[in-house]
């Protein structure tokens, strides 16, 4: 479990978005389970309900996606890990003091960075430029979904409200062992 996925990097595994192919390809190359927290789950489920509110998905699609999340937790594709919240918030304050005035990183994005640090995940996957800057300043390697998306030749695009300038990821994803997980086992059966 070397890569920490920001929630915005998890959503395209389950909902057809502009970064779906890029994140699916990256996940297949890594071939390892994705670490997942209750914070991810809360943010993910709320993002899906916002999509329902905005009429981007219907209630049946919401139920299917939530079911896929449950299936992926049960199968081990997503691995629920505990977070020491006292340490996470304390570290977020420390990192925030160093990076927020320089990067504009938001609180929830800082919390993701601190969880990645707490879990010992050396690589951070996101499409948020401010979060990339914060993760780098916290000592993490970063993988920018926007860059992966362009490398695939899918054109330029952004999911959600991400409107950051293009940034290169600071270290390439390392090849993992032979424990590849087939793409079709991840949640977004309709995209994959």
**Can you give the residue ranges of every domain in the chain?**
3-174
Most confident of 31-35, 42-46, 104-108, 167-171: 42-46
Q: Stretch 59-87: mean pLDDT, rounded?
A: 96
What's the confidence (pLDDT) of residue 91?
93
Please report which confidence band the pLDDT of residue 34 belongs to, taking 50, 70 and 90 as the band edges: very high
- Phi and psi at 3, nearest 5°, equal -110, 130
Q: Stretch 11-25: mean pLDDT, rounded?
A: 92
More reliable by pLDDT, 178 or 81: 81
What's the confidence (pLDDT) of residue 1?
56
The CATH class for the domain spanning 3-174 reads alpha beta
To the question of pTM greater than 0.85 for the whole model, the response is no
Sign of CA dihedral 105, 95, 31, 14: negative
More reliable by pLDDT, 189 or 34: 34
Return the SS3 of 143. Answer: strand
Residue 94: CB partners within 8 Å, gap ≥ 6? none
What's the confidence (pLDDT) of residue 156?
47
What's the confidence (pLDDT) of residue 30?
87
**pLDDT tens, position by position, 135-185:** 999 999 999 999 988 886 655 444 433 333 223 333 333 333 333 333 333
Residue 192 has pLDDT above 60, yes or no: no
What's the confidence (pLDDT) of residue 154?
55
Q: Decide if 131 contacts 11 (C-beta within 8 A).
A: no
């Amino acid at each position: 479990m070397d890569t920490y996925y920001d929630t915005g990097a998890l959503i395209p595994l389950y909902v057809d978005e502009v970064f779906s192919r890029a994140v699916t390809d990256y996940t297949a190359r890594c071939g390892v389970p994705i670490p997942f927290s209750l914070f991810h789950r809360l943010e993910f489920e709320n993002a899906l309900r916002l999509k329902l509110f905005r009429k981007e998905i219907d209630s049946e699609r919401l139920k299917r996606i939530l079911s896929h999340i449950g299936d992926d937790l049960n199968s081990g594709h997503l691995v629920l890990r505990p977070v020491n919240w006292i340490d996470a918030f304390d570290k977020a304050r420390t990192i925030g003091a160093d990076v927020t005035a320089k990067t504009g990183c938001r609180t929830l994005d800082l919390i993701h960075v601190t969880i990645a640090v707490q879990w010992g995940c050396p690589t951070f996957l996101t499409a948020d430029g401010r979060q990339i800057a914060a993760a780098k300043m916290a000592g993490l390697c970063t993988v920018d979904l926007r860059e992966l998306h362009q490398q695939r030749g899918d054109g330029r695009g952004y999911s959600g409200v991400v409107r950051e300038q293009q940034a290169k990821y600071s270290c390439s994803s390392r090849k993992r062992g032979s424990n590849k997980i087939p793409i079709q086992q991840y949640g977004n059966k309709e995209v994959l």
